[in-house]
Structure 1
């Protein structure tokens, strides 16, 4: 039987794998200091660069007609191979620059200057004058304005120029449609979107090169001794640093593990910077500009309840599903698929960031689903019924949705958060009128909200004059997020008016948030001796509830115990705020408060299956059911007592 003939693209893929293996071997040799001859290493780099360039040139000339058999997703596979080769090219260029002897260029320049001075004295050799003229011309060209690529762009159509993030380009022609003709350092020409380019002055380029030269000189001086030659250890350190500073997302994209439009998660990064974008921060009262009273927390003197405050936008948002979301490729194990959303005005986040976890079927990984409203107690992390409340007066106010995944690399065990795309729903039209509440199909864009609208495959959309039928077919293939906006009913609207002016969250926790705000008002506005008193307040509920609010499994346990206790009340007691406040404190102190300071329960870790399972077993195990006997038992281990566990600090909790 004759062997199966390999296609042209498959041959290039095998060559790329072999080139990557050789580059990785070279890098490992450098890291292990197993390089004895600099000239030999430079030769290896030069040979590999030439091989990569030849393979890349041959790949760019390939077409579908060159294949011996049909290839699925031919354009995407070709684009991925081109990106892999470009990454290898950049790595080899970096290694070559770092391995070049630093004193050679200086010596060459000095020799050149001496030759020029001698020839100026003689004034007899015209060839040397031509060299001087060429040098002046090249300097003039270098001082022309250059542009740096803000992000990686993959050319999809003929005539586009594929560039990597950070590449320096020369713009040859600026078109009114936003597509500029540019040329890279290798002489390749093509069109690049204007919003991908940032102008950089010649002075900035010179300053960067001077800084690099100064740092190299400092490293040489540090290792130089009077009787010894300069050490090359600093050069190896620089090489290792250049190798290790490759962006993780670029590496994953080059490996084909993620689509080019994926980025590091913007909202996950904000959540990791502290509590400024968490619900625990926004649930606390805000101080007025004078800091002598509260801006959003007042008591109604007639009823003794929290005074309701209207907000510019008050809606309920239901997440239905996501479709046509490309999954990460091989080599990555997805730990969580989720949607994070917040109030956004096009430039900054205006509220806390709320997360809803999605589910999917292995047979249809491109479709994400969210749990519908159920009669039972649905975990708040899976509940797609949410509320949105914002009082910003921005004309561009809207809801920003970010689809994300938390992953772990099978080869290295590295964890990370990726954005699979984003969508922005502007809530007001050009006349300043709130959009009608209805079902919305939002197109998912790749990149980040600050890069402009790009496809998940990394390209920028261009207007086309296709027919209506073709546009409908193309629309069905676009990634979409389906949500439903509703106007809250009277009961829910009344409850939302008792919350802070700006906040988003899970609708099933609304009644608990309202009771907590009522307890805050009672303690801060009624029980304080004077409004100028800022002493610590003894209250376990106020001191720790915000911390529990950031742990969904503890909030679910609290809500479960609350529902069970509330169902045992009389109908009249369910309408009595005094009774509900006492029950709230009693249930909280007897359930989640001891769990919060247990020494046996693991701390929360996002998207860690083992930690989540351990915490669930500990929280709902009958052995750990909270009672006076179990709390005083020698078998229960608790953290060392700290006064902060029962003390509410008004000065550190309230914010402007």
Structure 2
């Protein structure tokens, strides 16, 4: 007789059984230390992915999917969902025990351990009608997924009722089980209940562990006994948790704080901390990111405003009197921008990063990149420039830059950079922040993490510039304000003894490899025309120099008087700085200008007036057209779908404009702006006018 067909719900139940067996085996291995921490964490990751996938499959099931009638379908589905959530809860707690996390490059087989028990299960061919008569003991056994006692350090029980009185509080009831997300020295801990609600609760109301039964048993006692027991538990609880809070916050209050006695200023800091909870904090608690990772400091500065963007530093800087310019002058003999030498002007190449850990399970990495800027140990002294890294999926801990591509290398991937800075600080150097942009698979939250940082001081101990050579910089964890933080705790575990162990230890250290280099005379001349402070890609120097020349002509030579600050009609000057914040449009301009240069004669390339005229024509017939097209999606960092749509539209439009240019016989054809076929954004006078008062620094 042919075996009966299994239904979708039964298959999900068997998958959950298999996950539970593997989880039990993993917990036993961790307790007995039979496996390495890295291997155990990898198995934990794989189980978490499998459990999440099974839970998603279960949620999509309906009664109509079953090949045969199933009794108590909704109840059985709900019970299975609770069991899978309990498994995920246990796995999340196990992540914390196996800190530091991070995916391992070694591949392990986690399905072979329970092959014997799998064979036994495969022999069962019961249909759904037989499953309806399942014993209650089997159902109870499936649902009994408990967190091991040694993993319960983040699971607490409420000693008494607490009612929320202010925004940010979490109401809890006596005996309710909570998970602590963040502990603070002021005694108000961020907690999450079983329903997913989050808020702060006084630590004096909590007892470590999930001892619900022991708490409920006290209900039969008289009220006086309850108060004495609660006071005893409070004292024990504070003694147990003092060490943990001291480790996280550096200090711990000597006495417990009560809701009524907490000062108002304390609550303002609590609400501020609560509002700053994001995906990064949650992932840190779950153990899904290595211990040395932090929220990106440089990304936060970029999001605060324009002060740290390249478009800001490209604008002219006024002198102290604000009646002239500090860094923009014309040479009266040649009519060119006067070259200005600065204290520091270096060119360098980002080579590679090695042994950089990545976020763990439940996180999809959207971008690996380096943000860099001038830094003197206290503050950022230049714009923040970003270079995206490439990597091989087989070796995700190694990042590389400037990949070989057909055509023009995108600016975003170009590791050849320059820095101009006029700071006199003896500690001036380049700060490199290695980062990833990610999205949580379960919630869709986005975030930016710092995977570590490195610093290259640009002078030696005697104050002389560093020689042009390759440098291997150690990557530190935490932020530049923190000291002696490793990217991953396992890196510093133990002290290497012999020479061989020291060599192996050094190879496991995260490193950033860069190379200081010199450039040709033409590039040095173009660099001397740029603003006193700027960090950007070397491939764009010629475009930045031409923009600087147009800026000097318009603001220094063509203005009626020095005191005149009227609006200036110049679409190029008003919109060009935007390209430094949208590198794909800057690449479109580079491509169009390269095409125009190939058609110039040698004499035309040496004629500055001709170059300026052609540059304006190329700009107006390419990038300016793109900037005001409603079909161009908005620029979003690390959004693959948006980047792909923009790239497709940009290349198609540039090809169309080149075709129109060849048809008309000259560059900068104005017919494209009066053609009724393409759509344009509504006209705005700001796209044509350069406002000196609002843009000058």
Distance 1:184 1:280 in 2: 54
Question: After the TM superposition, which of the residue ranges 471-480 and 252-261 deviates more from structure 2?
Answer: 252-261
Q: In the alignment, is the contact (CA less than 8 A) between 2:279 and 2:440 conserved in 1?
A: no
Using a 3 Å threshold, how does the CA distance of structure 1 residues 255 and 10 change in structure 2: closer, same or farther? farther
* 1:120-161 per-position Cα deviation (integer Å, ceiling 9, x unaligned): xxxxxxxxxxxxxxxxxxxxxxxxxx9789xxxxxxxxxxxx
Distance 1:87 1:580 in 2: 67
Using a 3 Å threshold, how does the CA distance of structure 1 residues 636 and 240 change in structure 2: closer, same or farther? same
* 1:292-337 per-position Cα deviation (integer Å, ceiling 9, x unaligned): 1111111111111111111111111101111111111121111111
Q: In the alignment, is the contact (CA less than 8 A) between 2:292 and 2:485 conserved in 1?
A: yes
Q: Does residue 573 of structure 2 align to residue 571 of structure 1?
A: no
* Aligned equivalent of 1:488: 519
* Aligned equivalent of 1:638: 680
Q: In the alignment, is the contact (CA less than 8 A) between 2:279 and 2:445 conserved in 1?
A: no
1:519 to 550, 553, 570: 550
* Aligned equivalent of 1:384: 415
Q: Does residue 438 of structure 2 align to residue 407 of structure 1?
A: yes
2:530 to 499, 509, 518: 499
Using a 3 Å threshold, how does the CA distance of structure 1 residues 258 and 85 change in structure 2: closer, same or farther? farther
Distance 1:474 1:460 in 2: 8
* Aligned equivalent of 2:689: 647
Using a 3 Å threshold, how does the CA distance of structure 1 residues 546 and 359 change in structure 2: closer, same or farther? same
Q: In the alignment, is the contact (CA less than 8 A) between 1:263 and 1:420 conserved in 2?
A: yes
Q: Does residue 626 of structure 2 align to residue 607 of structure 1?
A: no
* SS of 1:651 mapped into structure 2: helix
Q: In the alignment, is the contact (CA less than 8 A) between 1:314 and 1:487 conserved in 2?
A: no
Using a 3 Å threshold, how does the CA distance of structure 1 residues 290 and 447 change in structure 2: closer, same or farther? same
Distance 1:613 1:646 in 2: 29
Using a 3 Å threshold, how does the CA distance of structure 1 residues 549 and 468 change in structure 2: closer, same or farther? same
Question: After the TM superposition, which of the residue ranges 630-639 and 537-546 deviates more from structure 2?
Answer: 630-639
Q: Does residue 531 of structure 2 align to residue 478 of structure 1?
A: no
* Aligned equivalent of 1:422: 453
TM score, norm. by length of structure 2: 0.64
Distance 2:377 2:589 in 1: 36
Q: In the alignment, is the contact (CA less than 8 A) between 2:246 and 2:252 conserved in 1?
A: no
Offset, 1:191: 11
* 1:485-507 per-position Cα deviation (integer Å, ceiling 9, x unaligned): 11333222221111111110011
Q: Does residue 618 of structure 2 align to residue 587 of structure 1?
A: yes
Using a 3 Å threshold, how does the CA distance of structure 1 residues 243 and 519 change in structure 2: closer, same or farther? closer
Distance 2:522 2:456 in 1: 26
Using a 3 Å threshold, how does the CA distance of structure 1 residues 255 and 188 change in structure 2: closer, same or farther? closer
Offset, 1:620: 1.5
Offset, 1:395: 1.4
Q: In the alignment, is the contact (CA less than 8 A) between 1:59 and 1:82 conserved in 2?
A: no
Offset, 1:88: 3.9
Q: In the alignment, is the contact (CA less than 8 A) between 2:371 and 2:384 conserved in 1?
A: yes
* SS of 2:514 mapped into structure 1: strand
Using a 3 Å threshold, how does the CA distance of structure 1 residues 650 and 443 change in structure 2: closer, same or farther? same
1:55-454 equivalences in 2 (<5 Å): 85-89=152-156, 98-99=162-163, 185-187=238-240, 209-211=261-263, 246-372=277-403, 376-454=407-485
Structure 2 regions of 5+ residues with no counterpart? 1-20, 32-39, 52-85, 99-107, 111-147, 167-183, 188-201, 205-235, 661-668
* SS of 1:272 mapped into structure 2: helix
Offset, 1:595: 0.9
Distance 1:83 1:558 in 2: 60
Offset, 1:283: 0.8
Q: In the alignment, is the contact (CA less than 8 A) between 2:242 and 2:252 conserved in 1?
A: no
Q: In the alignment, is the contact (CA less than 8 A) between 2:292 and 2:477 conserved in 1?
A: yes
Offset, 1:601: 1.2
Distance 1:344 1:97 in 2: 51
Using a 3 Å threshold, how does the CA distance of structure 1 residues 642 and 262 change in structure 2: closer, same or farther? same
* SS of 1:210 mapped into structure 2: coil
TM score, norm. by length of structure 1: 0.68
Q: In the alignment, is the contact (CA less than 8 A) between 2:185 and 2:245 conserved in 1?
A: no
* SS of 1:518 mapped into structure 2: helix
Offset, 1:576: 1.4
* Aligned equivalent of 2:577: 546
* Aligned equivalent of 2:25: 6
* Aligned equivalent of 1:116: none
Distance 1:204 1:350 in 2: 44
Using a 3 Å threshold, how does the CA distance of structure 1 residues 591 and 87 change in structure 2: closer, same or farther? farther
Using a 3 Å threshold, how does the CA distance of structure 1 residues 618 and 462 change in structure 2: closer, same or farther? closer
* 1:548-586 per-position Cα deviation (integer Å, ceiling 9, x unaligned): 221111111111010000111110111111111111111
Using a 3 Å threshold, how does the CA distance of structure 1 residues 649 and 369 change in structure 2: closer, same or farther? same
Using a 3 Å threshold, how does the CA distance of structure 1 residues 357 and 524 change in structure 2: closer, same or farther? same
Using a 3 Å threshold, how does the CA distance of structure 1 residues 83 and 401 change in structure 2: closer, same or farther? farther
